[in-house]
Chain A
């Protein structure tokens, strides 16, 4: 297939996944900030939302202070922030239109419909209710888009590139939450938090849609190291780093097999995947959770770059 087609498919998936993630971050932050201060401490959760979205620098270039207003505007609706939800949907649709015939009509309907409907939300909604409705709508779009890809796409290289985009973005997103919140997840003996953290832990789980899953997997009350385990090493959790890398390796291998040629991307994906499946949580804590996450984010970026060079240009 054309490299541009593969590139567009890869980016359609990334943008939709990113929009979904931003919507979750905003929703969780709204929830946290609705609690009385006594339950969450005096940290600025809006500042933390910007950090989790990975755009602190560009945010502070545009706004002096992280408030509910400014962060909602910047992450959800801003035309100037290239990674706002609005721009993610616009860009996903532009990429989709460029490869209209490589998508199924079901997928096109979802993304084009979303783009048309986006105009309804032209101005940053004032009330929390309206914002919440918008954020839920974004998550619904991503579910429908993902679901229609799963149900209607042929299992060929087009599908695999689409899925690569989705999983690279997802791994990056999960890692960024861990990067911002790692101090809350350190094991008990080194951790200097208190009961305040309970709501933060719940928020972390919510932002990766895993609060319910946590209870099913561990059958325990919230424990920070178990949360870290769930998000990093547990292959059963669809947004865990391990699960993302199971998928990334599978789709890289499917492409290699179909083209009859292995390359740098396959080696890189296999390396990261092997490392994740051999690690134990204790080892990660010993050598430093923060260091581990920083290194993972950079590894994940390298895989993205390697896929680009090998296939998409």
Chain B
């Protein structure tokens, strides 16, 4: 655990080339100036937060996600590697989804156990034999990546349903360019501001054949009480598309319309930020008031495109995750460029005995658990807890997977009154359209602001950083 890779200082303590400019700049800068910039950043965010307005009720301003002013920097060769790996992974995910809801070759070949798919709640039988435009299921993916060494990036999670966070990628850059024009002049940082255009192009490219030459694209949000509503309204604004809620849409004669002041207007593509379960009360949860009755039947008739498609959860589920390298090999006949975190599946007897041997070193997760429930962090657990968990694993081994405790890379971060290393991760956003994959150079870097903490989640003291990809 003690040995972790610092993205600025490397393994041997010498400043890595991509960080030289930042290092010099930090050394020239008085702490007071940096402190002042931090306060300005906070103020700007509050204004945007208030201006764009989400942060909820009474203590609105406190709920801003902390922003760290020191950027995380990736060299162009590091980015090229990530870009190739991400493209490969998302291509494989789309081919896998087509197969799972189609011919099921991968199951026939015995690469993935059938029960992991068919007994999985996120598998959607409604999607069986369903055609989707250009075979794209996951139009927007947010792949979570952690780094443990100079050359080693692991994929921690494939978010293939409704990934969020891209608004922070865009806002963080805006704020940084306003606060630190000098620092930008020392570097050639690849821009990210074209993301909304790329997203719109992606969405338009998958419009149904029945759509007009200029398809009508909308963003479907659960509404103002959703925690990501800020992002929804921000993106709709940047894309120049309508931000709709379920009640704004209606299905008539198998076609989806939105209610406008000039009467019903046809909708061709829905960038939906509503979960499968809530999309259509007739097809899924009948108690959903967020959805649109009949939407699923219009979708199945090919009259409207949903992005992402229904049923993509079967690609990013924890039970499937450990098979992702095999999935890449199966469909692309290539070695995966990005590795998974090594994962032991307790359903396999050999893996099980290893896990039970090393229980005090591993992180054990429930296959269907989420949000950290039913999780064991071996090095932090006492004897009683270890023993209790051992019993649970032995009783139902196939419900558990185990991973080593990762030494996430660190990056210099402004804390109280000084710069210190803090653990980080990365979520780049991968867009897949009719015939291209688009990745804006950058992503959302999350940082664990507590010393020694590995938890980057904003709900637990995590913050964000601007992510720089160098142009040359």
A contact residues vs B (CB 8 Å cutoff): 1-6, 94, 97-98, 100-101, 105, 108-109, 112-113, 116, 119, 157, 161, 255, 259, 261, 311-313
Cα–Cα, bound, A112→B55 (Å): 11
- CB–CB B53/A3 < 8 A: no
Residues of B within 8 A of A2 (CB): 242, 244, 248, 258-261
Bound-complex Cα distance A1 to B247 (A): 15
In the complex, chain B residues whose CB is within 8 Å of the CB of A259:
261-262
What residues on A are CB-neighbors of B244 within 8 Å?
Answer: 2, 4
Assess whether A4 is in contact with B248, with CB atoms less than 8 Å apart.
yes
Interface of A is mostly: helix
B261 contact from A94, A97, A119, A311, Cβ within 8 A:
A311
Q: Would you call A100 and B261 a contact (CB within 8 A)?
A: no
B58 within 8 A of A: yes
B232 to chain A, nearest CB (A): 10
* B residues whose Cβ falls under 8 Å from a Cβ of A: 50-53, 58, 60, 223-224, 233, 236-237, 242-245, 247-248, 258-262
> Is B237's CB under 8 angstroms from A101's CB?
yes
Minimum CB distance partner of A1 in chain B:
B261
Asked if A109 contacts B51 (CB within 8 A), the reply is: yes
Can you spell out 9 A-B residue pairs with CB atoms less than 8 angstroms apart?
A: A1-B261, A3-B248, A3-B260, A101-B233, A105-B51, A119-B58, A255-B261, A311-B261, A313-B259
Other-chain residue from B236, B242, B247, B261 in contact with A157 (beta carbon distance below 8 A): B261
Residues of chain B contacted by A119 (CB below 8 angstroms) = 58
Closest to B60 in A: A116
Contact call A3/B261, Cβ cutoff below 8 A: yes
How long is the Cα–Cα vector from A259 to B247 in the complex, in angstroms? 23
Q: Are A6 and B261 in contact (CB under 8 A)?
A: yes
Q: A2-B248, A108-B51, A112-B53 are in contact. Are A101 and B261 (CB under 8 A)?
A: no
Q: Return chain B residues, CB-CB under 8 Å to A255.
A: 261
Given A2-B248, A3-B248, A116-B60, also A100-B260 (CB < 8 A): no
In whole angstroms, how far apart are the Cα atoms of A101 and B52 in the complex? 8
Residues of B within 8 A of A108 (CB): 51, 53
- Would A97 and B236 count as touching, CB distance under 8 A? no
CA A289 to CA B405, docked complex, whole Å: 83
Query: How many Å from the CB of B354 to the closest CB on chain A?
Result: 53
> How many angstroms from the CA of A101 to the CA of B245 in the assembled complex?
14
**Residue contact A100 to B58, C-beta cutoff 8 Å:** no
- Given contacts A97-B224, A259-B261, A261-B262, 18 further A-B pairs with CB under 8 A are A2-B244, A2-B258, A2-B260, A2-B261, A3-B248, A4-B247, A4-B248, A97-B53, A98-B224, A100-B52, A101-B236, A101-B243, A109-B51, A116-B60, A119-B58, A161-B261, A255-B261, A311-B261
Chain A residues whose C-beta falls within 8 Å of the C-beta of B237 in the assembled complex: 101
- In contact, B260 and A1 (Cβ under 8 angstroms): yes
- Shortest C-beta distance, B205 to chain A (Å), equals 24
Alpha-carbon distance between A101 and B244 when the two chains are bound, in angstroms: 12
CB contacts (< 8 Å) of A105 on chain B: these are 51
Residues of B close to A261: CB separation below 8 A: 262
Q: Which residues of chain B are near A6, meaning CB under 8 Å?
A: 261
With a cutoff of 8 Å between Cβ atoms, the chain B residues found around residue A313 in the complex are 259
Using Cβ atoms and an 8 Å threshold, which residues of chain A touch B248? Answer: 2-4
Q: Tell me whether B51 and A4 are in contact (CB under 8 A).
A: no
Smallest CB–CB gap between B346 and chain A, Å?
Answer: 47
Identify which of B58, B243, B244 gathers the most chain A CB atoms within 10 Å of its CB. Answer: B243
Closest residue of B by beta carbon distance from A98: B224
Tell me if B245 and A100 are in contact (CB < 8 A).
no
Interface centre among A2, A105, A119, A313 (most CB of B within 10 A): A2
Q: Is the CB of B259 within 8 A of A4?
A: yes
In the complex, the answer to whether B259 meets A3 with C-beta atoms within 8 Å is: yes
Closest Cβ of chain B to A128, distance in Å, is 29
How near does chain B come to A308, taking the closest CB pair, in angstroms?
A: 11
What residue of chain A has the Cβ atom nearest to residue B242's Cβ? A2
A100 CA / B248 CA spacing, docked (Å): 16
Q: CA–CA, A101 to B236, complex, Å?
A: 9
- Give the docked Cα–Cα distance between A105 and B233 (Å): 13
- Could you tell me the distance between the alpha carbons of A98 and B233 in the complex, rounded to whole angstroms? 9
Q: How far is the CB of B347 from chain A (nearest CB, A)?
A: 47
Residue ID in chain B nearest A3 by CB atoms: B259
Q: Of all chain B residues, which has the CB nearest A105?
A: B51
A261 and B261 alpha carbons, distance in the complex (Å): 11
